[in-house]
Amino acid sequence: MANLIAVKATRTGLLLYNAGMQTEAVQPSTVANSPDTRSRPQLPGLSTAELVEQMQAIGQPAFRAKQVRDWVNKGVTNPVEMRNLPAALQQELSDHLICSPLSLIQRQCSEDGTRKYLFKLQGGGNIETVLIPDTSRSTVCVSSQLGCVLDCPFCHTGTQRFSGNLTAGEIVAQVLAVKNDLRREPLSNDLHAEVTHVVYMGMGEPLANEAGVYNSLRLLMDEQGLNLSRRRITVSTSGLVPQIGRLGETTPVNLAISLHAGSDALRDELVPINRKYPLAELRMALDTYPLPTQRHITLEYVMLAGVNDRDEDLDALARFVNPERERVNLIHFNAWPGSPYAGSAMQHMNSFAKELIKKGIRATVRRSRGDDIMAACGQLKSHLDLGDATSARGIADIANANKHKAGE
Ligand code: SF4
């Protein structure tokens, strides 16, 4: 994302204002898919100790590592912008490290402050990242894979061909890129100015990329790095049971489960990994996941009209939930082009939540954010070929169509 502000980056002037939506296509600065893309260490993927080692390797004293760390913590990864470093060292860092593994292709800003970023990876492929600001917190939703193999039929990401895991550096770089963007273009005054929370709910199944995710968690929580508390980080999974156990043992951050059905018959259809790890096995994994006091596991339940929002679905869900340790988050389904489902009406979602509450279950209806820019839950998919106005306009059209649907 240093490329968002990179000196060479030229905005194409493609500014589409559609009832408050702003799309900016950014012509990436020359980011070559060089053969050594992943052979050099990625700066955002270095712990403080590793950064010191890297600096020692090029004959630099420890205080220089501290200076670089301070810049990175602010979201600045382009050495040219690290103003207190000598030019020779800036050049050396560029030569020895992959300083900015992502380059910004496009940023879209929603009326509600949500920002969606489309990044190109230096190693090839595009990913999306979303900033969801609120009055008391600002959350970055990161991608962990290029596409997803799990093929949940309601999910837009699942329609994208899987082409690899992200490295820890590429995951952390998404958070740094958003921080840098917020430095350069702050949010409106009523919204929280700093990144406070990170959720692994973007493209991909995080627990199918354990190495990248665990290492990125370590970096996000590094006291000399971004120093995020584990209470402010959430990993969402479709229910990979052995991996849930390992996450609990190694890095027990907040856990969210893409549940979407309370019976095996329906979940086999909506979340196909359920055929491998059915609800009884998921139940055991959830019951043994370590929880700090006053924390809950979140069960995500996207509401699909006539599919999982009937009385029998509510009963099945209520039977599955452990109210002592879990809460249910009902999510409005955000349509994407070609999706085979329709979302439940808001009124029905509210009464579904009330029925769960009557049964002693904590249930909330999640306010949908950023759906005018297709940044809402289940809508992420990396749109390609955004260098021309036609395709960018296509996205604006889809966004407008969603906006109109929401208003109907
Ligand atoms: S819901 Fe999650 S696990 Fe399922 S296809 Fe989408 S990204 Fe993959």
Does the beta carbon of 128 sit less than 6 angstroms from any atom of ligand 1? no
Cα-to-centroid distance, 157 and ligand 1 (Å): 6
Q: What is the mean pLDDT of residues 292-314?
A: 94
As given in the structure block, the two tokens for residue 210 are: 């354990």
Q: What is the mean pLDDT of residues 221-237?
A: 95
Does 74 reside within a domain?
Answer: no
Q: Where are the beta strands (DSSP E) in 147-293?
A: 164-165, 197-200, 233-237, 254-258
Return the pLDDT at 239: 97
Does 322 reside within a domain?
Answer: yes
Mutation choice for ligand 1 from 150, 209, 304, 381, CB with most ligand atoms inside 8 A:
150
Q: Give the residues across from 215 on adjacent strands.
A: none
What is the band of 382 on the pLDDT scale with cuts at 50, 70, 90? low
Q: Are 292 and 255 in contact (CB under 8 A)?
A: no
Enclosing domain of residue 202: 13-27+104-407
Computed on alpha carbons and rounded to an integer, the radius of gyration of the chain in Å comes to: 21
Which residue blocks in 279-388 are alpha helix, DSSP H? 279-288, 311-320, 346-358
Return the pLDDT at 387: 29
Total residues found in the chain within this entry? 408
Query: For residue 300, what is the enclosing H or E element?
Result: strand 297-303
Query: Would you say residue 210 has pLDDT above 60?
Result: yes
Q: Which range is least confidently modeled, 36-50, 196-210, 239-253, 352-366?
A: 36-50
The rounded Cα 322 to chain-centroid distance in angstroms is 27
Write out pLDDT tens, residues 310-326.
999 999 999 999 999 99
pTM given for the model: 0.84
Which atom of ligand 1 lies closest to the CA of 155?
A: 6
From atom 2 of ligand 1, which residue's Cα is the shortest distance away?
A: 205
Q: What are phi and psi of 86, to 5 degrees?
A: -65, 150
From atom 4 of ligand 1, which residue's Cα is the shortest distance away?
A: 152
Does the beta carbon of 155 sit less than 6 angstroms from any atom of ligand 1? yes
Does the beta carbon of 238 sit less than 6 angstroms from any atom of ligand 1? yes
The amino acid at residue 62 is A
Q: What percent of the chain has pLDDT over 90?
A: 69
Nearest Cα neighbor of 270 from 234, 317, 200 is 317
Query: Would you say residue 288 has pLDDT above 90?
Result: yes
Mutation choice for ligand 1 from 143, 162, 258, CB with most ligand atoms inside 8 A:
258
Return the pLDDT at 155: 87
Burial 335-357 (b: 16+ CB within 10 A, else e): bbeebebebbeeeebeebbebbe
Q: Which range is least confidently modeled, 27-31, 61-65, 187-191?
A: 27-31
What is the band of 337 on the pLDDT scale with cuts at 50, 70, 90? confident
Does 76 reside within a domain?
Answer: no
Does 390 reside within a domain?
Answer: yes
Does the beta carbon of 151 sit less than 6 angstroms from any atom of ligand 1? yes
What is the band of 157 on the pLDDT scale with cuts at 50, 70, 90? confident
What is the band of 37 on the pLDDT scale with cuts at 50, 70, 90? low
CATH at residue 297: 3.20.20.70
Return the pLDDT at 123: 84
Please count the structural domains in the chain. Answer: 1
Does the beta carbon of 379 sit less than 6 angstroms from any atom of ligand 1? no
Does the beta carbon of 206 sit less than 6 angstroms from any atom of ligand 1? no
What are the residue numbers of the active site?
128, 377
Does the beta carbon of 205 sit less than 6 angstroms from any atom of ligand 1? yes
Does the beta carbon of 202 sit less than 6 angstroms from any atom of ligand 1? no
Q: What is the mean pLDDT of residues 344-353?
A: 97
From atom 7 of ligand 1, which residue's Cα is the shortest distance away?
A: 204
Does 312 reside within a domain?
Answer: yes
Return the pLDDT at 385: 30
DSSP state of 343: B
Pairwise CA distance, residues 227 & 178, whole Å: 16
Return the pLDDT at 1: 30
Query: Would you say residue 381 has pLDDT above 90?
Result: no
- Largest interatomic CA distance in the chain: 68
Sign of the torsion angle spanned by Cα atoms 82, 84, 85, 86:
positive
Q: What is the mean pLDDT of residues 271-286?
A: 98
Does 223 reside within a domain?
Answer: yes
Pairwise CA distance, residues 135 & 186, whole Å: 13
Does 6 reside within a domain?
Answer: no
As given in the structure block, the two tokens for residue 4 are: 């968002």
Query: Would you say residue 146 has pLDDT above 90?
Result: yes
Does 67 reside within a domain?
Answer: no
Which atom of ligand 1 lies closest to the CA of 271?
A: 4
Which atom of ligand 1 lies closest to the CA of 258?
A: 1
Mutation choice for ligand 1 from 151, 236, 241, CB with most ligand atoms inside 8 A:
151
Write out pLDDT tens, residues 62-85.
999 999 999 999 999 999 999 999
Query: Would you say residue 397 has pLDDT above 50?
Result: no
Pairwise CA distance, residues 206 & 225, whole Å: 22
Cα-to-centroid distance, 147 and ligand 1 (Å): 9
Write out pLDDT tens, residues 99-131.
999 999 999 999 889 999 999 999 899 999 999
Residue pointed to by tokens 């700066």 = 43
The amino acid at residue 327 is R
